[in-house]
Amino acid sequence: MTISMYRASVPVFQQILPALSGCLRKAADHAAAKKIDPAVLIQSRLYPDMFPLVRQVQIATDQAKGGMARLAGQEPPKYEDSEASFDQLQNRIQRTLSFVSEFKPSQIDGSEDRDIMLTLGGQPYNFKGENYLLGFVLPNFFFHATTTYAILRHNGVELGKGDFLRG
């Protein structure tokens, strides 16, 4: 049985991106209720050598938009990475969700053997489409979405697994 590259990607992003947005809404409400400067949460991290929440959201959305574009043989849209507020992060998530939702199965299915080359840290990485999606894009997407959730929980935002899975 062959994998549907579309079904393994678009519905996943359409589920988790709105959930990530919901987690950020709860974080903004938490900050307001507790009179915490939202920038404190946005710049929070789990450990000093880890990226802050803002970067976690940026990378999660980059994985979604970049993964879909590359699987479709397109150049990914570029975002400025200048978000400094919950509203700006929400906008980024919504732009990403809109971009991902524009793809049709015919653009993604059949990309299993597409050659995809990335340069990361100055090093070239070559993938076939299926390995790129299943072994790189989705694991990175979930890592950064989960880390966003963990940073918020660590800072007292009342979130549960349901928030992560369905917003």
Helix locations, 35-128, DSSP H = 38-42, 53-71, 86-101, 105-108
For residue 89, give Cα distances in angstroms to 3, 38, 133, 163: 32, 12, 24, 17
Catalogue all structural domains in the chain, each as residue range(s) with its CATH number.
10-166 (1.20.120.450)
Residue 1 confidence (pLDDT) above 60: no
Integer Cα distance of 94 and 75 in angstroms = 19
Phi, psi angles (nearest 5°) of residue 100: -60, -40
The confidence band for 167, taking pLDDT boundaries of 50, 70 and 90, is low
Reduced DSSP (H G I as helix, E B as strand, rest coil) percent helix, strand, coil of the chain, to 5: 60, 5, 30
Q: Are 119 and 125 in contact (CB under 8 A)?
A: yes
pLDDT of residue 136: 98
Integer Cα distance of 2 and 111 in angstroms = 12
Average confidence (pLDDT) over 97-126: 97
Q: Are 165 and 15 in contact (CB under 8 A)?
A: yes
Contacts for 35 with CB less than 8 Å, ≥ 6 apart: none
Of all residues in the chain, what percent carry a pLDDT higher than 70?
99
Q: Encoding tokens for residue 129?
A: 């489409």
pLDDT of residue 2: 77
Average confidence (pLDDT) over 23-41: 98
Looking at this protein, which amino acid is placed at residue 57? V
Mean pLDDT across the chain: 97
